[in-house]
Amino acid sequence: MSPVVTAIAAQKGGTGKTALAGSLAPLWAYAGFRTLMIDLDQQANLTYAFAVDPTALDATVVDVLAPRAPLAAAEALVTDVHGVPGLDLLPCDDRAESLDTQLRSETMGVFRLKDAIEAVLGAYDRVFVDCPPNVGELTVSGLLTANEIVCPVNMGDTNALRGLNRLTQTVDKLNRRGASLSFKALARLACDDAQVSYRLNSAALADLARRLELPLAATEIRARAAWRKAVTQDLPLILLDESDRSTREAQSDVWHLAHELWETIDFPYPSEIRALRRSSTHIAA
């Protein structure tokens, strides 16, 4: 059986898309599911988030999607990234900036990713695709590979809803042409009820979700300093080995969102993940 593929997509930058993808995927892996992450963002932020330097790799997704003599996806995988058993990464690098043009010039180029990863999908239970923050060929390629979409919305951004209409229109067009995409949820990130932008965005997003009949997750990801701390450590937030209040609250929010979206899955608590990682480090030492 093919795994469920979740695209983390938002048609603007700065939404927290990569940070969310990088924390949801390890939860699945620690719950016992073989999980693959695919980085399609030209800035390779998901790749760097797991302390993987793309310049030190022999191959990335760019080589897998090359128009001539493409590499097999299995040859570009980074396995058990950041010491997480069962969590693999198809990394990206800055050469991906040319992929939109390349895929556009090919007949049915947007299906190249779907075809390329078909050979490895049988090894996984779940797949997460971190899409670029635009509606280019790479994003369409990621959406055509997916079954469902989680769309993060940065509630601290005064332009938070910009691009959401465009994303829904893109999904509608793809579905009319044979795709089977659905929105799993709109996820609210960087929530701070002391900010005017949060209050304005909350009302506007709720109204938009009703009009477009999109599911809006009840769980809110609160604005916490731990998100920035994770970036500075080249580590997904869910893997931060700290127990200060900011980290506890941020990790708890991610756990609750994952449990809301996939309520039948027994995701380990962040404290359990910390204990598992400390134990594995001790055994390795």
Mean pLDDT across the stretch 85-93? Answer: 97
pLDDT, mean of residues 42-47: 93
* Token duo for residue 145: 């590979």
Asked whether residue 224 carries a pLDDT value surpassing 90, the answer given is yes
* Residues sharing a CB contact under 8 Å with residue 239, sequence separation 6 or more, in sequence order: 23, 26, 82, 84, 230, 273, 277
Q: What is 4-224's CATH number?
A: 3.40.50.300
The overall average pLDDT reported for the chain is 92
pLDDT confidence band for 272 (50 / 70 / 90): very high
Q: Which pLDDT band, with edges at 50, 70 and 90, does 64 fall under?
A: very high
Quick one: pLDDT at residue 284?
46
The DSSP-derived string for 49-88 is HTT--GGG-S--HHHHT-SSSPPPGGGG-B-SGGG-TTEE
- Distance CA(128)–CA(203), nearest Å, equals 29
Are 151 and 165 spatial neighbours (Cβ–Cβ below 8 Å)?
no
Looking at residue 243, its pLDDT comes to: 85
The total of other beta-carbon atoms located within 10 Å of residue 136's CB is 18
Domain boundaries, the chain: 4-224
- At position 250, the amino acid (one-letter code) is A
